[in-house]
Amino acid sequence: MNFFRFFKKKDNQDGKRGPENGDTDGMEGFDKELELFRQQMTPPDEFKDGFTWIALFGALFVGLLMVPGAVYMTLLVGQGIGPAAQWVTLILFIEVTRRANKSLGKAEIFTLFYLAGTVMITASMAQGGFQGGMSVLYFQFLAQSESMQAAGISDQLPSWVVPSDIEVLEQRNIFMRAWLPCIGMIIFTMIIGRFDSMVLGYGLFRLTSDVERLPFPMAPIGAQGILALSEEQGGESSSSQTVQEGDDGEKRSWRWRIFSIGSMIGLLFGAIFMGLPTVTGALLDEPITFLPIPFVDFTPLTGQYISAVAIGLSFNLGDFLIGMVLPFWAVVGGFAGLLITLVANPMLYHADILTSWVPGDGLQATFFKANLDFYFSFSVGVALAIAVAGTMALVRRYRRAKRRREQQQLDGPEAKGFKNDFVIPKGRGDIKKRFIIISYLVVMSAYIGVSMFLLYVTDGFIYWPVIWIMFFYAMAYTPLMSYMSARLEGIAGQSLTIPLVREALFIFSGYHGVAVWFLPIPLHNYGQMAVFYRQAELTGTSFRSIWKAEILLVPIILVGSLVFANVIWQMGEIPGPRFLFAQEWWEVTAAQQAIVYSSTLGGYTHFERALNFAYIGWGLGIGVAGFSIMNVLGLPIFLMYGIIRGLNQTLPFMIIPQFLGAMVGRFVFQRRYGVKRWRQIIPVLFAGFSCGMGLMGTFSLGFVFLKQSVVELPF
């Protein structure tokens, strides 16, 4: 078998018209490159329910065996084992079913993949609100943090966040009566949050994928990996292109070959990048590293010549490969946005706009201060520009659909709206649009109602300006930002976030106290969920199986994360010498949070200047002008969204390797193998790379647990 037979060069079809090259009937005015990526991978004709007994056992396996590793690794090295747990679980269950002379279907594999990933991500989250056992561990630290005590915050933490009795904290036992209010908040937040994200994320998917037909370039990565595993075990085959004839005439899956090669690359790179530091760190006093983790920070040096510009470089091969996966012009736009900041930030600094930056600041401090001084407000304006562009795109699509209906002389209720412009696949498991709206109103009411109750319990009254801010989040900001983020995910494969929104509005509300920072507020971004639903669609997984799996997930995550967090806490103080990352970074994080939390205790705060309506106007004007110029010149829509991504929206150390990867992919591999074939190869290769990195992370974690299990005798 020769792997390179698959890469045999074929004639490039870029100049021809046809669906495979992004040119379809009725697509006038529509960016052809969008349709090219849209048809990179198409959904199957049949959708199946992937929620089976195997998925149930897989979730229990992850909850019982993988969750403690995720919690421990987060405390030790600051990085969970989510991807590792997903791929290990899949491969293990595929091998077990193979021994039983059975095979897993694509829908079953995807559901198992989703269950494992969700359990691991939620179980290992900390510092982000009420997210399982890790939040309990972090909250107990906040109550004892030197930074919080110095700022006068420790004594004001509500009882539903952390017990105020220091004797309770010293016992290191979550399952005490004093912890019940906090556990109750965890249960409420997890239940309402899971329901919230699944239903409203589905609504965004319907809008951006079904109506706008955005390509979602990152969705095929996970989907292609699922197909590779499915085809390798002799399971389902999605099309005639899924197999190639081998040298011996035997049919073999090209996806599996490429996935395997990507896995080997991930294993080899992972051994150097994360395996060596993890293993040597467990066995030696100082870990041995060949490549800096997570990046090299050049900002303190370059700040002498380029003021207020965050500059760094990541040596993670994954960032390089991501540049090949993402649309080329989106990556080029991101790099162009970074170049713009190289020129704009020094000008803003000398114009006394970026006033917080001082020479010697590192990348994180420079990035944070630039957001505080300018990019917070500027990003709000840019988001509004994306909303305008999205609305105009919807209007144009509606007009095209209307013209086609008039030409075909269609009548009746089925010709209304967009219903003739797309067809919902049969058996996909869709729900009524009115259920999405009702669910949204119920969820937002629950968030606001519980927040009102907590404010009353804590302060003895309800501070209504905070409640009105929550209504603004629920009715305006969250829907708008989620749609903007889903649209950016659908076009450029990156999410849109505007930092410091919560901080600025709560400070401007005039609230006095710290309880407001821990309220379950309706401020969320559901853009990433649209990508998830697109992946489910591409693998032929019925949405109903995902919703049934959610009912199983919540108790597993709750019980597993709380129980194992309690067990790990019994091993020693957190932070402490056993948990190096928490010991090194939690106090730094608490010091930064103390600045924010103390801003509602009275006195001057730097956040008072964060919201500037003039800068919002700049962002709106530049964004609208940019989209207009792109449209007039006929430039790729990916380019503008990439520039938005690069304008202080993405950490700069990631953009440079992504740009290099995009250039290599475009001018080396794509020229050699053709656009369509290369676009089929690279998502599978990257999925295999992620699997290899995950497996190496799991292997390295075994050494850590082995070292921790060794008991030194006193003789």
Tens digit of pLDDT for each residue in 327-375? 788 888 888 888 888 888 899 999 988 888 888 888 877 877 887 788 8
DSSP 540-600: TB-HHHHHHHHHHHHHHHHHHHHHHHHHHHHTS-SSBTTBHHHHHHHHHHHHHHHHHHGGG
In this prediction, residue 448 carries a pLDDT of 92
Q: How far apart are CA 444 and CA 470, in angstroms?
A: 9
Instruction: Please give the Cα distance from 67 to 73 (Å, whole number).
Output: 10
Cα 151 to Cα 602: distance, rounded to the nearest angstrom: 12
Tokens 């095979």, located at residue: 103
Q: Which residues of 618-656 are buried (b: 16+ CB within 10 A; e: fewer)?
A: bbbebbbebbeebeeeeebbbbbbbbbbbbbbbebbbbb
Among the listed residues 680, 463, 593, 630, the one whose alpha carbon sits nearest the alpha carbon of residue 128: 593
pLDDT of residue 122: 67
Question: Could you tell me the mean pLDDT of each successive run of 10 residues in the chain, 715 residues long?
Answer: 40 38 38 62 80 78 70 64 66 75 79 77 61 75 82 83 80 84 87 84 85 77 70 50 40 70 89 82 75 81 87 86 84 86 89 88 81 80 74 65 58 45 72 86 90 89 89 86 80 65 79 87 82 85 85 80 80 72 71 77 64 83 82 74 67 84 91 81 81 75 64 49
> Which sign, positive or negative, has the C-alpha torsion 516, 522, 528, 533?
positive
As a whole number of angstroms, the distance between CA 249 and CA 506 comes to 67
For residue 316, count other CB atoms closer than 10 A to its CB. Answer: 20
pLDDT of 670 reads 87
Q: 37, exposed or middle or buried, with CB in 10 Å at 0-12, 13-18, 19+?
A: buried
For residue 711, count other CB atoms closer than 10 A to its CB: 5
pTM of the model as a whole: 0.69
Per-residue model confidence (pLDDT) at position 395: 66
Q: What pLDDT is stored for residue 5 in this prediction?
A: 42
CB 485 within 8 A of CB 495: yes
pLDDT of residue 187: 87
d(CA 359, CA 402): 58
pLDDT at 453: 92
